[in-house]
Copies of this chain bind each other. A is one copy, B any other.
């Protein structure tokens, strides 16, 4: 019998459902609208219907499922304590309710933790046991695998790497604090940095100026930097240095085998990896820095594939 992993990746707008084989290869996928404003029971009903339909198409049933959601997840109680994308579902007994609707055990974790599992098990093929994953998107998230096990902390809140303070009192972060890594390396931080440089430095960078206030996005900055635009290059240089400061701290603390970047923004990797690695090369403790591999994930959908795989082997 095939072992099928089932991942449910709930975002603010859509919830993706994914069945994978025991290596994380995608067997089948589908998607439903999240519509969190309709409340928890409706959300659970819609998802459970979609799961059953996907399994009918597959002709097989997954033994368990794993739900991945952005925010502060309580994996033991199976409740969303705090969620930027799905605040309407905070406090609702999601895991229990979904478990009853699906008639099987459901695990529940922060989505960046599941992306870390994807980085560990799929991207790195479990060849490295101590892995830090950093997800770069709207915010900066993270996940930690130590000795081949997910580290979720005492209350399930661990690995909020984006809120490590790298520059105390510095740039404002969406969380309300100042100087978090996220305030330098997330989508909004990158755009804020570009806007500031464009207003400070007159002349040049016409392609970027045209996008100002009209949806300037990290990928525009990546394209411009590859064309040699000096402001775009400066933006990525700053992102790389900030990430370097954050990763240096993580290497000092965890002494991991690998640090892997995943998520949309990480695809600009070439542009920020060089300044990032320059920071790491300058550190005076050599053993942990010579040991660690820093790379951009090549595979996609590591969050939902990671969750699906985790349903087979986690907790």
Please tell me if A48 contacts chain B, counting CB pairs below 8 Å: no
Min CB–CB distance A266 → chain B (angstroms): 19
In the complex, which residues of chain B have a beta carbon less than 8 angstroms from the beta carbon of A82?
285-287
A74 to B144, CA, bound (A): 23
What residues on B are CB-neighbors of A74 within 8 Å?
Answer: 287
Is A160 in contact with B252, judged by CB distance below 8 angstroms? yes
**Is B152's CB under 8 angstroms from A255's CB?**
yes
Binds B, one of A10-18, A39-47, A243-251, A268-276: A243-251
Output the nearest chain B residue to A152 by Cβ-Cβ distance.
Answer: B255
Judge whether B285 and A159 touch: CB under 8 Å.
Answer: no
A135 and B68 alpha carbons, distance in the complex (Å): 37
CB distance from A290 to the nearest CB of B (A): 9
The segment from A163-171, A201-209, A213-221 found at the interface with B is A163-171
User: CA separation between A154 and B131, bound complex, in Å?
Assistant: 10
Contact of A168 among B161, B241, B252, B285 (CB under 8 A): B241
A200 CB to closest chain B CB (Å) equals 19
- Tell whether, in the assembled complex, residue B160 and residue A285 are in contact, meaning their CB atoms are under 8 Å apart: yes
**Residue in B closest to A162 when the chains form the complex, CB atoms:** B252
Is A177 in contact with B284, judged by CB distance below 8 angstroms?
A: yes
Task: Indicate how many identical chains form the complex.
Answer: 2
Q: A154, B256: Cβ atoms under 8 Å?
A: yes
Contact A248–B156 (Cβ < 8 Å): no
The answer, yes or no, to whether A20 is at the interface (CB within 8 Å) is no
B163 touches A252 (CB 8 A): yes
Within 8 A of B (CB), among A258-311: 282-288, 291-292
Q: Which residues of B contact A160 (CB under 8 A)?
A: 252-253, 285, 288
Compute how far the CA of A250 lies from the CA of B163 in the bound complex, rounded to whole angstroms.
10
- B164→A252 contact, CB < 8 A: yes
Distance, CA A225 to CA B101, complexed state (A): 61
A175 touching B284 by the CB < 8 A rule? yes
* 23 examples of A-B residue contacts, CB within 8 angstroms: A82-B286, A146-B146, A152-B255, A153-B254, A153-B255, A153-B256, A154-B257, A154-B291, A156-B287, A157-B255, A157-B288, A158-B252, A158-B253, A158-B255, A159-B255, A160-B285, A160-B288, A164-B164, A165-B248, A166-B168, A167-B167, A167-B179, A168-B242
Given pairs A155-B287, A160-B288, A163-B249, 14 additional interface contacts (CB within 8 A): A129-B154, A153-B254, A154-B291, A157-B255, A158-B252, A158-B254, A159-B255, A160-B285, A163-B252, A166-B168, A168-B241, A175-B285, A249-B249, A253-B253
